[in-house]
Amino acid sequence: MQPSSPHPSPAAASRPATSSASGSPVTARLGGALGLLSALVLATVALLGHALDGDDGDFGDPFVTAIALAAALHLGSAVWLLCRRGWWPLVLSAAPSALILGWLVAIAVLGFLAGHGTDGLGVLLSSGPWLAISPAAAGLALTPSSRHWVAAGRAGRAGGPPHQPPAA
């Protein structure tokens, strides 16, 4: 087949349609939306940590400051994904939530093994799903459709070949 042929290639016709009418894949839009929600969750955790710190309004606790910084980075990385600039910042910014979630799991398991019953399990079940939003957003940003969508946006800005949506 000639390169200037108006007919689509068989390889392009065999690709599944993962894009919506707006051209962005569902995984990228859902990953960005979950990233925004996760930034809100992290900001709430930071505000609660500051409110319960007991130091009369001083911002001296580095843990609370780190969580607030992680919330700001997560917000920026979710917007970065939705603007087709990059998927990797959202994946990297999921690390604090994943670490806090792992810490809660470790505390619950160690508390259970130490004979404290299921006290830690209640905390894990109440806050764990909220903290799991960030790794879920990172997983959606790692999907091939999201990465290809971002790469096509970069190529369009760099003067590369124009982005063609997959054939339906």
Over residues 89-140, the pLDDT tens digits come to 999 999 888 888 898 889 888 888 888 777 778 878 888 888 899 999 999 9
pLDDT confidence of residue 14: 42
Average pLDDT over residues 147-168: 73
Instruction: Give the span between the Cα atoms of 168 and 161, in whole angstroms.
Output: 20
Cα separation, 167 vs 80, in Å, equals 27
d(CA 107, CA 120): 6
- Cα(first)–Cα(last) distance of the chain, in Å? 21
State the average pLDDT over residues 30-40: 94
Is residue 1 in a domain?
A: no
Q: Are 165 and 16 in contact (CB under 8 A)?
A: no
% of the chain beyond a pLDDT of 90: 28
- Mean pLDDT for 72-90 is 92
* Within a domain: 39: yes
44-48 own/partner pairs: CB under 8 Å, 24+ apart: 45/71, 45/100, 45/131, 46/70, 46/71
Which domain range does residue 147 map to?
25-93+133-155
Are the beta carbons of 133 and 38 closer than 8 angstroms? yes
Q: Decide if 60 is inside a domain.
A: yes
> What contacts 119, CB < 8 A, 6 or more positions away?
111
Assess if residue 67 is contained within a domain. yes
User: How many structural domains does the chain have?
Assistant: 1
User: For residue 118, is it within any domain?
Assistant: no
Of 11-15, 56-60, 95-99, 108-112, the least confident: 11-15
Residue 107 belongs to some domain of the structure: no
Q: Is residue 120 included in any domain, yes or no?
A: no
140 located within any domain: yes
Interatomic CA distance for residues 162 and 155, integer angstroms: 7
pLDDT of 11 higher than 60? no
Average pLDDT value for residue range 74-90: 92
